[in-house]
Structure 1
Amino acid sequence: MAKPQEDPMALDQAITTSPLPAPGGSTATFRDTVYTSRTLILSDDRELAVAKGIVSVSTTDAMALKFFKDNAEFEPLKE
């Protein structure tokens, strides 16, 4: 019997718990230099998922941007 294959796009969408940017909005992407997968908890109890060593947030999310800029474990990626 063949093993059913998982849709990798569906898996990536399932682990993303941070709000998606509004259409036409831009995102800031960061590389996690320590882990390839983890869940980050912001001070307002929001969760951000790191998948494949990458995490993206809206450029209007001041709290998340401050978290990444203040944390040496993340480096910004150019898009």
Structure 2
Amino acid sequence: MAKPQEEQSVLEPATVIQPASAASTTTFRDTLYTSRTLILPDDRTLAVAKGVIVVSTTDDLALKYLKAHAEFEQLKE
């Protein structure tokens, strides 16, 4: 005896989330350490991993902090 088939529900289209574009981030190279945690003046932390740190171009405080310290070198994208 065959099993009755269940009604298939109508699937809604999935929302596609696109990754952030490279233009919305800036990458800095840490010239002293390959790994460390930076504490910004507003008590947020930024992680340096593999000698680099990536911050959003809209994060003015982080950009100002990194540009003000000689041990961080902004990489050209």
Q: Scaled by the length of structure 1, what TM-score is found?
A: 0.69
The CA deviation at 1:50 is: 0.1
Three-state SS of the structure 2 residue aligned to 1:55 is strand
Q: Which has a greater percent of helix?
A: 1
Gaps of 5+ in 2: 1-18
Moved over 6 A (4+): none
- For 2:49, the equivalent position in structure 1 comes to 51
What's the % identity of the aligned pairs?
A: 69
- For 2:68, the equivalent position in structure 1 comes to 70
Q: Aligned residue pairs: how many?
A: 58
Distance 1:23 1:66 in 2: 21
Q: What root-mean-square deviation, in Å, do the aligned CA atoms of Structure 1 and Structure 2 show?
A: 1.5
Distance 1:40 1:63 in 2: 12
Gaps of 5+ in 1: 1-21
- For 2:59, the equivalent position in structure 1 comes to 61
Which AA in structure 1 matches 2:62? Answer: A
Q: Scaled by the length of structure 2, what TM-score is found?
A: 0.70
- For 1:29, the equivalent position in structure 2 comes to 27
* Bigger CA radius of gyration: 2
